[in-house]
Amino acid sequence: MSFLHFTILLPFIAAIVVPFIYRSFNHKIHTGWFVVLVPVFIFINLLLQIPSISNGENILISMPWIPSLEINFDIYMDGLALMFGLIISGIGALVVIYSIFYMDKNREALHNFYIYLLLFMGAMLGLVSSDNVFVLYTLWELTSVSSFLLIAYWYERKKSREGALKAMIITVFGGLAMLAGLILLVMITDTYSLREMIANVDLIQESALFIPALLLILLGAFTKSAQFPFSIWLPDAMEAPTPVSAYLHSATMVKAGIYLVARMTPIFGGSATWFWLVVGIGVITLFYGSVRAIRQTDLKALLAFSTISQLGLIMSLLGVGSAAFYFNPGESQQLYAFALFAAIFHLFNHSTFKGALFMVVGIIDHETGTRDIRRLGGLLSIMPITFTIALIGSLSMAGLPPFNGFLSKEMFFTGMLQASEVDMFSLEWLANGCPILAWIASIFTFIYCMILLVRPFLGTFKPDRLPKEKVHEAPIGMLIPPIILGSLVVLIFFFPNILGQYILNPAIASIVPDLEKPFKITAWHGFGPELYMTIGVIVLGLLLFVSIKKWNIAFRVLPENLNLNYLYSSSLENMEKRSVSFTNRYMTGSIRHYLIYIFVFVFSVLALALITLNAIDFDFSNYAYVTIYDVGILLAMIVAALTTLFTRNRITAIVSLGAVGYLVVMLFVIFRAPDLALTQMVVETATTALFLLCFYHLPKLGKKVEKVKFKLTNLIVSILVGVTVTILTLVATGHKLFTPITEFFENAYELAGAKNIVNAILVDFRGFDTMLEIAVLFIAGIGVYTLIKLRSKGSDTDEAETE
Amino acid sequence: MKLKPNDVILNTVTKLAAVIIFTFSIDLFWAGHHFPGGGFIGGLTTAAGIVLLYLSFDIERIEKNLPIDYKKMAAIGVLIAIFTGLAGMIYGDNFLEQTFGYFNIPIFGETELATAVLFDVGVALAVIGTAVTIITSISEDEL
């Protein structure tokens, strides 16, 4: 295990230790102080990688995980992975510090919280640095699972559980689609490595599976990054504690989809489908999110919709940038790659200002007890520092100077204008629509930024409408993380090219390796269309914000049932109802029915296999001669079996069933299989004892007159099963499809040092089987125990009647 | 337990038979490497012996003299089996790869020691634990 592997797996290791730390130290020191060391350590380690990676020396280290399936945890650390790694660990450290003051150490189950958080951190770090697609997929799902756990952290609230479930259903659905897409890619290229897939891009683009793979992978990316129409899970995910919302649902996890699209751009980029899907969905999401955000009264919901909208913005830029792969290295490629650069830049900026804004909202919620903008107001004089951070964050989001959002917003307009000039993919109406939609969306973005800033902080302070009595500025520990992010927002505006040189350009180089020259970020590009667009956004945005009450009513015309949430919940409800009524039809609660299902299934599968494979052909040449002992034992067995069937006394039935078992033991002895005989004997003893113990609970035989129809079914089913199994046994000995491996087992003494081959097989050659078998046995035992011991009293009534 | 616990003949026989059954089961366990027997059979025989004890005496008495949580025993068995598999990985072998060697031990002389026995201990414990758990929980169940 290399040091880099250790760095990336550290959160998992820490997650194991956290409960012990919590138990022994939490009453003195907040567990978060220990946890914060993990992201800080990772952050510093990743910082140390910057010099070599910005020189283009990417790191590839392999660690075997499941070598027999060629699934290895290969870390491929390039510019893109490094940038994500820095965001994950950097914001992670700030969020943990913030959570120390946000989460009360005496009231909250902190060990759960930090285990989930560390799980997520490890999964996300591994996701962005893994080269193996299946490792990537596994960790992708692990981020969904940890997100589920974090959203449902306050699981006693119904809304939390529902939000968690919704996020889980949508993202896992997308994840499975992505898995299918990845499998298609593996089928085409015959490799599990992302780098080798990119190297074999010609194979993929010529394949007939190109479009299906593209669609499936985009489905994964769009669900994860909350793109329209899958965006509905993100607002509900806001039920999570605010540090989680700041971390997972704005800065990192929702960007996994962006990451995937960026990673896959070299593979799918240059195709018209990819271009228009990513640009189109991105712009629609941008527009949808910004419009919906204006209507929100909950500050966190507002931020959630704004995140959706910003993710759409980044997505659309990635779409425009994918056109770079249409061209050979040269001027046009450089031109379109600029959109990719803008996407990466805005992604980074978004993590800074949105992280800060979430923390601000968390502070407001923490100090006043509410996030409802109708109750808040006039906090400016009470929370001046918080206001300053909010000012920086929201103006940056609105795209104003001197904040980093201005730089990337201008670049975004450039990118959108480029999209309208794309002539090679001939979809003119969409091409012309994009910049217009993007511009309108930016106006709405400006408006909701103003709402976010003005409504809680300006106006009159209404203390009687707040749940908490004494409202004051947040503790310094809660302010430090957003202050750091806020200063980054300003610093990046003034020195964007330091970031550009060391982080953004290496990240671009890992998407488009053969760029002509690195990009530079400039704040002033002269009087161009971008500047006029920005000025237009500010002027119109201000006008509309002032008059918001007059036009806001227009939204009320829309019917309630016409939204995506309604569609989601009604289809979920319908599905539940249908499956319940379907299940109830055959799940009668009677074990006899279930046994019939099982046996009918066994019979049909076996019979079908025998017939379709044309396997019924007997070969008796290898059989041993039938001796007089065999005949005697067989006859005795038949008599015992018939006694079981026709007796009217339960004890007689049990004993004669035991007799059948012991007669089988005799057969084993005759055929010289002492191990089998011993096992069968002991098992028979144990089961007979078990039967004797529980027959007390069974209904008396013959008391109930069963329906003739039921008995007839039983007869037919048992005869069919018996005949099929007999035929199968007879047939099986006659077929030798493979070379027998008997000879290998005969070497048991040399290989395993055991003279008893049976035992050597059990504990050595097939040890894995045995291990799983005892695990299954154990699970079954615990199952029986729980079913009996922990049964709720209310369900006893049915069984009492049968007694 | 539903059976009457004051059956003198059963009690007397059980006291003797239990010793024999347990001894036999231990013998079966150790014989497994070279002769018929092994962890599964040995474990199940032990379980049968324990069930016999439960049948002839009352539960309180057995729980006092044999204070074992069979659920935990089963879990420990499964864990032992898994960890003996993991132990080999430290030496660079595959998961569950067993080794053996011949050692000269005082009194016993040249003796074969195999890691498979440890694995078998896990199997035996899991089987005993599960079998007794199932049987006792079903029989103790009061409807």
Provide the pLDDT for residue A430: 67
Determine the structural domain holding residue B78 and report its residue range: 8-140
User: Chain B residues with CB inside 8 Å of A748's CB?
Assistant: none
What SS3 string covers A693-721? HHHHHCCCCCCCCCCHHHHHHHHHHHHHH
Provide the pLDDT for residue A797: 45
Non-local (6+) Cβ contacts of A618 within 8 A are: A730, A731, A734
User: Chain A residues with CB inside 8 Å of B33's CB?
Assistant: 753-756, 759
Whether B140 shows a pLDDT value over 80: the answer reads: no
Interface test with A, best of B40, B84, B112 (most A CBs within 10 A): B40
Whether A509 shows a pLDDT value over 80: the answer reads: yes
Provide the pLDDT for residue A702: 56
Residue A798 near chain B (CB below 8 Å) = no
Whether B1 shows a pLDDT value over 60: the answer reads: no
Least CA distance to B142: which residue of chain A?
A697
* B1 within some domain: no
Q: Residue A705: pLDDT band by 50, 70, 90 thresholds? A: low
**Which residue matches tokens 């671009």?**
A508
* B66-B71-B72-B78 Cα dihedral, nearest 10 degrees: 120
When computed from its CA atoms, the radius of gyration of chain A, rounded to whole angstroms, is: 34
Mean pLDDT computed over A198-212? 87
DSSP tag of A193: B
Whether A763 shows a pLDDT value over 90: the answer reads: no
Whether A360 shows a pLDDT value over 80: the answer reads: yes
- Nearest in space to B95 (alpha carbons), one of A769, A415, A363: A769
Say if residues A234 and A304 touch (Cβ distance below 8 Å): yes
Taking CB atoms and an 8 Å limit, are A771 and B81 in contact across chains?
A: yes
C-alpha–C-alpha distance, residues A495 and A488, integer Å = 10
Whether A142 shows a pLDDT value over 60: the answer reads: yes
* B29 within some domain: yes
pLDDT tens digit string along A32-81? 888 889 999 999 999 888 888 888 788 888 888 777 777 888 888 888 99
Pick the residue with more confidence: A525 or A52?
Answer: A52
Residue A760 near chain B (CB below 8 Å) = yes
Provide the pLDDT for residue A262: 92
Whether A143 shows a pLDDT value over 90: the answer reads: yes
Taking CB atoms and an 8 Å limit, are B98 and A782 in contact across chains?
A: no
pLDDT tens digit string along A561-579? 557 777 888 888 898 899 9
Q: What is the largest CA-CA distance in chain A?
A: 108
What SS3 string covers B23-61? HHHHHHHHHCCCCCCCHHHHHHHHHHHHHHHHHHCCHHH
Q: What is the mean pLDDT of chain B?
A: 81
Provide the pLDDT for residue A425: 62
C-alpha–C-alpha distance, residues A469 and A278, integer Å = 48
pLDDT tens digit string along A482-499? 999 999 998 988 888 888
Provide the pLDDT for residue A520: 81
Read off the tokens for A787.
């079913």
CATH 1.25.10 fits A608-767, yes or no: no
* B92 within some domain: yes
Provide the pLDDT for residue A218: 93
Taking CB atoms and an 8 Å limit, are B38 and A674 in contact across chains?
A: no
Residue among B37, B120, B137 minimizing CB distance to A789: B137
Taking CB atoms and an 8 Å limit, are B137 and A682 in contact across chains?
A: no
Whether B44 shows a pLDDT value over 50: the answer reads: yes
Taking CB atoms and an 8 Å limit, are B38 and A685 in contact across chains?
A: no
Range in A565-574, A670-679, A792-801 with the lowest mean pLDDT: A792-801
Residue A699 near chain B (CB below 8 Å) = no
Non-local (6+) Cβ contacts of A698 within 8 A are: A650
pLDDT tens digit string along A455-478? 888 878 877 777 777 778 888 888
User: Chain B residues with CB inside 8 Å of A767's CB?
Assistant: 85, 96, 98, 116, 119
Whether A208 shows a pLDDT value over 60: the answer reads: yes
Whether B141 shows a pLDDT value over 80: the answer reads: no
User: Chain A residues with CB inside 8 Å of B137's CB?
Assistant: 784-785, 788-789
User: Chain A residues with CB inside 8 Å of B81's CB?
Assistant: 770-771, 774
Read off the tokens for A537.
């956004």
Give the angle A409-A349-A496 at the CA atoms, nearest 5°: 80
User: Chain B residues with CB inside 8 Å of A764's CB?
Assistant: 98, 116
| DSSP secondary structure letters along A767-802 | HHHHHHHHHHHHHHHHHHHHHHHT--GGGHHHHHHH
* B104 within some domain: yes
Nearest CA-CA distance, residue B107 and chain A, Å: 21
Taking CB atoms and an 8 Å limit, are B35 and A754 in contact across chains?
A: no
Residue A298, φ and ψ in degrees, nearest 5? -85, 130
Residue A61, φ and ψ in degrees, nearest 5? -130, 135
Residue A651 near chain B (CB below 8 Å) = no
Q: Residue A803: pLDDT band by 50, 70, 90 thresholds? A: very low
Q: Is A59 helix (H, G, I), strand (E, B) or coil?
A: strand
User: Chain A residues with CB inside 8 Å of B29's CB?
Assistant: none
Taking CB atoms and an 8 Å limit, are A784 and B134 in contact across chains?
A: yes
Provide the pLDDT for residue A96: 92
Q: What are the Cα distances from residue B100, in Å, to A10, A746, B85?
A: 36, 17, 14
Least CA distance to A776: which residue of chain B?
B78
Taking CB atoms and an 8 Å limit, are B40 and A762 in contact across chains?
A: yes
Pick the residue with more confidence: A429 or A242?
Answer: A242
- Nearest in space to A97 (alpha carbons), one of A46, A35, A45, A147: A35
Q: What is the mean pLDDT of chain A?
A: 85
Provide the pLDDT for residue A666: 92
Provide the pLDDT for residue A799: 44
Interface test with A, best of B30, B46, B136, B141 (most A CBs within 10 A): B141
Interface test with B, best of A682, A784, A802 (most B CBs within 10 A): A682
Nearest CA-CA distance, residue B82 and chain A, Å: 7
Provide the pLDDT for residue A578: 92
Residue A60, φ and ψ in degrees, nearest 5? -130, 115
Taking CB atoms and an 8 Å limit, are A778 and B44 in contact across chains?
A: no
Phi-psi region of A157 (alpha: psi -120 to 50; beta: other; left: phi over 0): beta
Residue A784 near chain B (CB below 8 Å) = yes
Residue A754 near chain B (CB below 8 Å) = yes
**DSSP-assigned beta bridge partners for residue B102:** B112
Provide the pLDDT for residue A694: 72
Taking CB atoms and an 8 Å limit, are A759 and B98 in contact across chains?
A: no
- Structural domain boundaries of chain A? 291-325+337-546, 608-767
Mean pLDDT computed over A397-424? 81
Share of chain A above pLDDT 70, in %: 93
Interface size between A and B, measured as CB pairs under 8 A = 153
C-alpha–C-alpha distance, residues B70 and B59, integer Å = 14
Taking CB atoms and an 8 Å limit, are B135 and A693 in contact across chains?
A: yes
pLDDT tens digit string along A610-664? 888 877 777 777 777 888 888 999 999 999 999 988 887 888 888 898 999 999 9
- Nearest in space to A358 (alpha carbons), one of A386, A330, A333: A386
Residue A751 near chain B (CB below 8 Å) = no
What is the distance in angstroms between the CA of the first residue and the CA of the last residue of chain A? Answer: 62
Least CA distance to A775: which residue of chain B?
B78
Share of chain A above pLDDT 90, in %: 24
Provide the pLDDT for residue A742: 77
Pick the residue with more confidence: A599 or B87?
Answer: A599
Nearest CA-CA distance, residue A124 and chain B, Å: 27
Taking CB atoms and an 8 Å limit, are A784 and B138 in contact across chains?
A: yes
Provide the pLDDT for residue B134: 86
C-alpha–C-alpha distance, residues B19 and A67, integer Å = 49
Whether A111 shows a pLDDT value over 80: the answer reads: yes
* B131 within some domain: yes
DSSP tag of A247: I
Q: Number of structural domains, chain B?
A: 1
Provide the pLDDT for residue A729: 85
Nearest CA-CA distance, residue B41 and chain A, Å: 6
Taking CB atoms and an 8 Å limit, are B51 and A682 in contact across chains?
A: no
Residue among B48, B116, B129 minimizing CB distance to A764: B116
Mean pLDDT computed over A741-755? 75
C-alpha–C-alpha distance, residues A163 and A151, integer Å = 7
Dihedral sign for Cα atoms in the order A637, A641, A644, A646? negative
Whether A139 shows a pLDDT value over 90: the answer reads: yes
Read off the tokens for A62.
């392999």
Range in A383-387, A674-678, B81-85, B89-93 with the lowest mean pLDDT: B89-93
Taking CB atoms and an 8 Å limit, are B130 and A771 in contact across chains?
A: no
Provide the pLDDT for residue A428: 65
| DSSP secondary structure letters along A109-133 | -HHHHHHHHHHHHHHHHHHHHB-BH
Whether A426 shows a pLDDT value over 80: the answer reads: no
Provide the pLDDT for residue B6: 63
**Which residue matches tokens 């640095």?**
A129
- A35: how many CB neighbours lie within 10 A of its CB? 31
* B79 within some domain: yes
Mean pLDDT computed over B120-141? 86
The one-letter amino acid code at A661 reads: G
